[in-house]
Homo-oligomer: A and B are copies of this chain.
Amino acid sequence: MKVTISDIAKAANVAKSTVSKVLNDSPKISQETKHRVREIMKQMNYTPSSIATQLARQSSYNIGLLVDMSKESEFLNQFFYNIIGGIESVIVSLKYELTISNVQHSNPEGHFLNRLVLSKRVDGIIANNSVLTEDLSAELVRLQFPFISIGELAGSAGWVDFDNELGGRMLTSHLLEQGYSAVAFIGGEEKEKIFTHRCNGYMQALHQSGFTVHKEWIVNCKANEHEGYQAALKLLQGENPPDSIVCMSNYAAFGVLQAAKELGIHVPSQLGVAAFDEYPLSRYTTPPLTSLNIDTFKLGVASGHLLMDRILYPDNPPRHVLLEPELIQRESTRRNS
């Protein structure tokens, strides 16, 4: 039924090794032979077995994308499709395929280190920094196994990330440029790196324009609708209310808009609102949100490139890439309209 390299060899009256060379377009084979063998391959409907190739070449031609599906990762959930598309677009031309794998910390037998890495099921790994703990990262380094983190990582690992500090600066500066002068920051947990970066950017922008940072204008909370709402209520009803707010997420911003509406505070004339992330709401809120778009396809592309780099040139040092976000202006910060 299934036709192998031997069948082709017999039919073409050449050795298996010759067929193999034709397959790989070796320059040592005459055009004539190539042509003849290929003809026969077509006739016999032959497609080489990728598994056999993998075994012989000692490479799976497979790269793994690790995900922790148990955590409701807003980020991945939103952008998974684009990231995958990005990765795929770079690896496919190198004959690689993408394996998605759920890291289940429940079953140690099925730990991805065994399932994918040690068993050589994949030649390299991409994962975001919520699954790549320091331990795991160190272990992969020790095993000299190629991997790239989506999201900044300590240690000698390659990673790609968005420039969150720059993002914080961009949103804050934008508000200041619009004429707002009392900018607050809502959302994020104090220890989180992503919060730290963004908030640093926020503070930098303030300093740069000669404003001082008010501690009480930086509110740590979950970046969701409810907590955004609460935080805004409190801030806006406080002694010293801000006239604009940078929000850690679309959802937090949604909560802020609700709070403003209830308090009869008009956006954008009385309150400017700007948010990180463009999806999924910012186009559809009332008023539409000024937000910071990140090109997650590019994120995938970059991580794919870095990983292939690790695989093909293991001796090069791991690289880091910071991607620039893009400001999308909408009504929620149009102070003078």
Contact = CB atoms under 8 A, between A and B. Distances in A.
Contacts of A225: 284
Given A100-B100, A254-B284, A286-B286, A81 B88 contact: no
Contacts of A115: 97
A151 to B, nearest CB: 17
A100 B121 contact: no
A186 to B, nearest CB: 17
Contact of A92 (B97, B110, B279): B110
Interface string A164-185: 0000000000000000000000
Contact of A119 (B49, B81, B120): B49
A323 interface: no
Interface size class of A (residues with CB under 8 A): 35 or more
A88 B102 contact: yes
A280 interface: yes
Interface stretch (A51-59, A130-138, A215-223): A51-59
Given A97-B101, A281-B284, A284-B254, A50 B92 contact: no
A196 interface: no
A67 to B, nearest CB: 8
Contacts of A52: 55
A50 B121 contact: yes
Nearest to A100: B98
A284 B288 CA distance: 12
17 contacts: A47-B118, A47-B119, A48-B119, A49-B55, A49-B120, A50-B121, A51-B121, A52-B55, A69-B85, A85-B102, A92-B110, A97-B121, A98-B100, A98-B101, A281-B284, A284-B284, A286-B286
Given A51-B121, A254-B284, 17 more contacts: A47-B114, A48-B119, A49-B55, A49-B119, A50-B120, A51-B54, A51-B120, A54-B54, A77-B81, A88-B100, A89-B102, A92-B102, A99-B99, A225-B284, A281-B281, A281-B284, A284-B284
